[in-house]
Amino acid sequence: MMDDTRPATGAGDVGRRIAARREELGLTRQDTAVRAGVAAGYLRYLEQQPNATPGTSALIRIADALDTSVAALHGAGTGRPPGPGRAAAHSELIELDPAECRARLSTHGVGRIAAHTTDGLVVLPVNYSVVDGAVAFRTAPGSVLAAAVGAHVAFEVDHIDEALSQGWSVLVQGRARAVTGADVVRRFDALAHSRPWAGGAERDLWVRVDEDRISGRRIVVH
């Protein structure tokens, strides 16, 4: 029987964080249940029921199985910027080659666009997708990011592992270009993995970054 890895839309905060961490590690519910010593059905219940209140002992085991903490599953630190921990004693910064940079961009996620505007340099977060090998994002016509079309921009995405004091970043530099043509726009819409998290105004202008240069760095701990 296939393991349903998708949390229900009515899942509670703890359940959503359990599911998100599990998927980040590439684990099925069955894998996680075995690691934590709980029933897969119980894990499904936690992920799908908005009012689920896991016991302390079970939550500790689930957190251990997911290489995280009970506090993190409860959302501790979500109001603070990442990376307040100390640097590791024996760390090294290494360069990533273009192939590894593109692999870390993956297919979609949340990154940051840096662009010059009439108000100066701005850096804004965007939900992005990788389409035909290029970073692309949606914005509203007339917005700050729409004004960057035709200009050179920088796109950055990164990940920080607080527990291990490790992380990586990828930087894409190039010219922002509006995606035009009804068929092409429909294709981008079909390939998008999610709508922009910010909601609000209709963000129906697709912008892609025509890459001039891609680079990346990774912190490793010896």
Helix (H, G, I), strand (E, B) or coil at 188: helix
- Name the band, by pLDDT with cuts 50, 70 and 90, for residue 5: very low
pLDDT digits (tens, 9 = 90+) for 155-179: 999 988 776 778 899 999 999 999 9
The pLDDT assigned to 6 comes to 43
Q: Please, where are the H alpha helices in the chain? A: 13-24, 29-36, 40-48, 56-65, 70-73, 98-105, 182-191
The pLDDT assigned to 215 comes to 97
pLDDT digits (tens, 9 = 90+) for 50-63: 888 888 889 999 99
Q: Using alpha carbons only, how large is the chain's radius of gyration in Å?
A: 20
Distance separating alpha carbons of residues 23 and 8, to the nearest angstrom: 14
**Which of 1.10.260.40, 3.30.230.10, 3.60.150.10, 3.30.420.40 is the CATH number of 13-73?**
1.10.260.40
pTM (2 d.p.): 0.69
The pLDDT assigned to 120 comes to 87
Whether the domain at 13-73 and the domain at 91-221 fall into the same CATH topology: no
Task: Using the predicted structure, report yes or no on whether residue 189 has a pLDDT greater than 90.
Answer: no
Percent of the chain with pLDDT over 70: 88
Task: Using the predicted structure, report yes or no on whether residue 136 has a pLDDT greater than 70.
Answer: yes
Domain ranges of the chain: 13-73, 91-221
Task: Using the predicted structure, report yes or no on whether residue 28 has a pLDDT greater than 60.
Answer: yes
**Which of 2.60.120.430, 3.30.420.10, 2.30.40.10, 2.30.110.10 is the CATH number of 91-221?**
2.30.110.10
- For residues 63-73, b (16+ Cβ closer than 10 Å) or e, as one string? bebbebbeebb
pLDDT digits (tens, 9 = 90+) for 68-125: 888 888 877 666 666 666 777 778 889 999 999 999 998 888 999 999 888 789 999 9
Average pLDDT over residues 136-151: 90
